[in-house]
């Protein structure tokens, strides 16, 4: 279990206040996994500072982190043999999720 600093706990509280929630995603038990709706991201503590993204935010497919792929028939979010179409609405939702998450992480902990 990772020990978090008071500043990192403050950041988590601000994320929770913005509607982000923790989620367990195997095999990422050592990361701080958060989601809002069907969007998710992996975070890691930065020693003596805040939190950082481990990978770009993405969609959850069957409770797992999906990969966005490009196809001639249109983009999709894929996990193993399951996929979901990358519709304009989903892409807007993911962009909003990523932007708000980035804004909170960049602000850092309150002093």
Residue 35, both tokens: 């989601």
pLDDT, residue 51, reads 92
Average pLDDT of 32-60? 92
Strand ranges for the chain from DSSP E? 21-22, 32-36, 39-45, 51-53, 58-61, 64-65, 67-69, 76-79, 82-85
Residue 32 has pLDDT above 60, yes or no: yes
Whole-model pTM?
A: 0.88
CB neighbours of residue 98 within 10 Å: 16
pLDDT band at 35 (very low <50, low <70, confident <90, very high): very high
Residue 5 has pLDDT above 90, yes or no: no
pLDDT, residue 50, reads 87
For strands 76-79 and 64-65, give the pairing.
Answer: unpaired
Q: Which of 84, 87, 107, 106 is nearest to 95 (CA)?
A: 87
| Helices and strands in the chain: count of H runs, count of E runs | 2, 9
CB neighbours of residue 93 within 10 Å: 16
Average pLDDT of 99-109? 87
Residue 1 has pLDDT above 60, yes or no: no
């Amino acid at each position: 279990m990772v020990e978090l600093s008071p500043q990192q706990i403050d950041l988590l509280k601000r994320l929770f206040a913005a509607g982000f929630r923790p989620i367990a995603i195997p095999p990422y038990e050592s990361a701080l996994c958060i989601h809002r709706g069907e969007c998710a991201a992996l975070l890691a503590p930065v020693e003596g500072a805040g939190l950082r993204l481990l990978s770009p935010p993405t969609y959850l497919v069957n409770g797992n982190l999906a990969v966005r792929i490009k196809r001639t028939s249109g983009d999709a979010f894929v996990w193993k043999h399951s996929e979901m179409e990358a519709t304009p609405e989903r892409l807007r939702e993911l962009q909003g999720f990523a932007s708000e998450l980035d804004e909170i992480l960049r602000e850092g902990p309150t002093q």
